[in-house]
Structure 1
């Protein structure tokens, strides 16, 4: 930085030089046709050469979203649209009698243009007047995953890329952009789930089929040997499923029927991903309305004692509950649901059931910060509210309830003995706190999702949870590569 500081004026001179014609200040004719007046240059092309209006259009027939500027008589470059210079692109086949071009707004990565082009995502199905390039939708999706920026923030950055003064006449297309990003995200998820190769299409999607499964957790029928159920006692730990349960009250959702409703803007997933299917979930809650939760017999856990009394004024949901993979911090299919009050057993029981409804296991380790209370009368609640043929209700599964390591010191002394990971055989160095780290990755969405419509909110959370699972999947390869090194250093512990 010190060396750079000494040359800062030279760098600044070069920046100023780019605002002018640079090496082409004495150019007398167009460098393409050698005839026309050299008035136009492209901001996005590598070269800063000057061309006439006709040549700049011909050069950009395959790059219609580049930004061009015209050298004006006062001595500066001013923005110009390629459309106004005569650029037209025929959609579909080369037609002998094409329909005349219309005024069409296109959102691209760096600016808002008025152009026509193929391979665009339309904002509406009928007579669209706005579209976005695949490139801008891809970039927004990845940027949103990494930075948690909202669609509005990204859209404004595009608008400012087109005009950073606010004085140019640029059409406001935020609502259209919002709609396109949501549809794009859903389409990408369905595509990656293989729905485009199924004759039944999206409508034939089964519950949880769009969720990315944890490749390291035991998945019956996928990554377990055929005889895993007959494994001897000293090997059963290999096929144990570790679950972590928790609630997050930062992901609250305000009731705002003016913005949207489930009828006007439903979710695209309907139980296909990480959230439970809404109708059966709400039906379960309705069937058990009025049930009061017993007070804590441990310390005064807020999650237990305030479950029925949490302030819900103005809220359609006070937060979300989740059942995650405790070992690898993956979101599980059909394991997320909105909470209407506090962290009620009524809600968390259903999420636990839903996340395991399609599978069967012989041993479970369940981590929950109020496991000492939730496990009390657990089997009684499960047998009363869920199908008798569910593997948990058959009585042939071993379930170990534990309290996460960070939360355990806040419990009474008896819990330190009965619910400790450190004192339990067959759990390795699991800390049970993985679900908390999962919330940390999603909490930055709270401010943008709390005012969304129900469908938009769920779709947003679904896509980010899916991305989190995908990143975890790709990073596992790096973790596996470390195993030989861990074996080398293990004797020196």
Structure 2
């Protein structure tokens, strides 16, 4: 609740009172409505425009927000009218050099646009000697230097972090941003996976599927042609890099939101795993031997040997409650529970599971599903199909390839099914740090990383490879349409002229023959 309180105005601001103006002997000219607040200054007071500018005369790189009537949105001191005079202390330059209209400053709290009047003396390091338009503070350079020595971070990675701080999505506040403080029961009423960032393009009731989608006439009329609209495509895989050492007990160090985001609830999951302790690893066909040694993976001194994960195939976003720990190897009991948890409650007409050993996983899948909790069972009305990712498919036996080829699956399009492998490349760098963590801390850290990944995918959906290709295809289609229209118009004009000429010649010939006949 305190986090939600911080998102709104203070009591004084709601009464249209600026706390600094009240202490002035003479009223300040202009609007004194307290619409501004600073994220950096202590206290979080809401100030009027004049007081906010006065307070930040010597702090031009603070992050300021403005109340728009509904919430605080980011603004800048430059937008508010502040100009920064550099090199003369608190005085003004009698002959200032012309500076760019907006000057880019890289600082430890983000990237800023500042109006300056000319700066090395002010500890701002210019990017160029002549007519600079960008600079970095010496504080930032020292900060980067220390990090590069201790953590070997690259300049590019450091800059990406500054971008995130400039427009921070605040994934560290999932409970507040999913409205937990605005519902009855609050955090205690949070359900499984409720705090996860879901894929906006996957089928979601009330988002991109109407409430009556099953019985609606368009759905019934086009179900065979647009089956992909009502199909959930998920990809599953195991990762043995994200292991965890047996350092502490799980109960004294629980996760703060384990089970509410991407990791599945541990109690029901562990209870199911204990029933299948002696279960062998998933076997694979002889043509694909990459998993034939999973049973030989040592779990000596390890709490978990890795994780299993389920993502949406098309957009590579991690499914809510779609991640589970592996105790040893890649067993049916683990992977079945993870897949069914990730798709639980999703309203779809059909489901396609892409797995590098789908040819083995689908055998007796229905029988194994009966042993899981009832709420994880796939409804009988849902059509279930399995496929193998395109890069893995050629390694299988010949008889496995055709029935499981994504090239032959309705609605799959040209997706390769290997998106989860690309997700691992983003997650694996966290393996060294998380393997020594307590189980609860590890869950929270990885959940935060998964949320960051999903958010980056969400804001980049309109720039995804599929969308870019679709735009290019549409542009080419329009060009071809215009070209075809021009050709048709040219052809019609040519044929029209030819027909008119032929008809006129026919009329002349007809009239000539008629005249000769009349004369004779």
Normalised by the length of structure 1, the TM-score is: 0.60
1:240 to 226, 231, 234: 231
Q: CA deviation at 1:147?
A: 4.2
Q: How big is the shift at 1:454?
A: 1.2
Q: Give the Cα–Cα distance (whole angstroms) in 2 for the partners of residues 475 and 185 of structure 1.
A: 17
- SS of structure 2 residue aligned to 1:323: strand
Local SS of the residue matching 2:308:
strand
Query: Is there any run of 5+ residues in structure 1 with no aligned partner, and where?
Result: 1-40, 52-64, 67-76, 78-108, 113-142, 155-183
Is 1:266 the equivalent of 2:254?
yes
Whether 2:318 is the aligned partner of 1:331: answer yes
Structure 1: how far apart are the matches of 2:475 and 2:60? 55
1:283 is aligned, of 242, 263, 271, to 271
Between the two proteins, the alignment pairs up a number of residues equal to 330
Q: In structure 2, how many angstroms separate the alpha carbons of the residues matched to 1:208 and 1:148? A: 31
Report the CA distance shift for 1:412/1:425 in structure 2 as closer, same or farther (over 3 A): same
Give how far 1:478 is off: 3.6
Q: Name the residue aligned to 1:370.
A: 357
1:280–1:111 CA distance, 2 compared to 1 (3 A):
farther
Unaligned runs of 5+ in 2: 1-57, 62-83, 91-107, 110-120, 122-138, 143-152, 163-168, 481-520
Match 1:249 to one of 225, 228, 240: 240
Are 2:287 and 1:299 equivalent residues in the alignment?
yes
* Corresponding residue SS for 1:431: coil
Query: What is the CA distance between 1:254 and its match in structure 2?
Result: 1.1
Query: Which contiguous aligned blocks of 4+ residues in structure 1 show a shift greater than 6 angstroms?
Result: 41-46, 109-112
Instruction: Give TM-score scaled by structure 2 length.
Output: 0.57
Whole-Å separation in 2 of the counterparts to 1:456 and 1:371: 33
Q: 1 CA distance for matches of 2:258 and 2:234?
A: 23
Match of 2:418 among 413, 419, 433: 433
Q: Contact (CA 8 Å) 2:281, 2:329: kept in 1 or not? A: no
Residue aligning to 1:56: none
Shift of 1:217: 0.6
Matched, 1:380 2:367: yes
Secondary structure of the residue aligned to 1:385 is coil
The one of 401, 416, 420 aligned to 2:386: 401
Preserved CA contact (<8 Å) 1:211 1:466? yes
Instruction: Give the conservation status (yes or no) of the 8 Å contact 1:242–1:327.
Output: yes
For the pair shown, the structure with the greater C-alpha radius of gyration is: 2
SS in 1 for 2:407: coil
Preserved contact between residue 391 and residue 397 of structure 1 (Cα < 8 Å)? no
Shift of 1:195: 1.6
Which among 426, 444, 457 is matched to residue 442 of structure 2? Answer: 457
Tell me which residue corresponds to 2:400: 415
Question: Does the Cα contact within 8 Å between 1:211 and 1:274 map onto a contact in 2?
Answer: yes
Work out whether residues 271 and 277 of structure 1, in 8 Å CA contact, stay in contact via their aligned partners in 2: yes
CA 1:390–1:190: 2 relative to 1, 3 Å? closer
The equivalent of 2:191 in structure 1 is 206
Match in the other structure for 2:329: 342
For residues 199 and 49 of structure 1, do their structure 2 counterparts lie closer, same or farther at Cα, with a shift above 3 Å needed? farther
